[in-house]
Amino acid sequence: MRIMITVGLIAVSIMACSQNENKVSEDKQPKNVCHFDDEEWKEKLTEEEYRVLREKGTEPAWSGKFNHHKEKGVYTCSGCGDTLFTSREKYNSGSGWPSFYDVYKAGKVKESIDESHGMTRVEITCANCGGHLGHKFEDGPMPTGSRYCVNSVSLGFIKKKE
């Protein structure tokens, strides 16, 4: 019974999570609106997803399933399912990680300064759930000049219907 209640609560939380999309302000850096506690994330995510999304890990270069992925569609957050990127802005950066020159919509990806590993970088996280995605660099192609360097583990994909 207790398990059923727990499962039920998680299901309700997930639904609440996906319905919060419209509440995200698009003109400023939004606060995370999708909250799970650590135990809930551990239950919801695979070990590798947890390591990357919640502990800011990095998948090995060239190892990710979306590095050379070229299908048309949208890339979602593997934590909460929110749409973050599309195939239109994806390009081959040669870095070994899926790269995009722009986000799906302003406000979907949060940026913050990351000073770990003796470097100053811009960390990118899902604005909806706070999941770590990767880093943003300013050596991308025009029109933005940006490179959103993202772990495949942090992404899901929904193929565009033909």
Interface ranges with Fe ion (CB under 5 A): 77, 79-80, 126, 128-129, 131
Candidate list 17, 77, 129, 149, residue with the active-site label: 149
Name the residue nearer to Fe ion (CB basis): 62 or 65: 65
Least gap, CB of 1 to Fe ion (angstroms): 31
* 149: annotated active-site residue: yes
Contacts of 103 (CB under 8 A, 6+ apart): 84, 85, 89, 109, 148
CB 54 within 8 A of CB 153: no
Which amino acid is it at 85? Answer: F
Name the residue nearer to Fe ion (CB basis): 18 or 92: 18
CB 28 within 8 A of CB 111: no
Name the residue nearer to Fe ion (CB basis): 23 or 145: 23
Least gap, CB of 151 to Fe ion (angstroms): 13
Least gap, CB of 126 to Fe ion (angstroms): 3
Dihedrals phi, psi of 41, to nearest 5 degrees = -65, -40
β-pairing verdict for 109-114 and 121-126:
antiparallel
Catalytic sites, residue numbers: 149
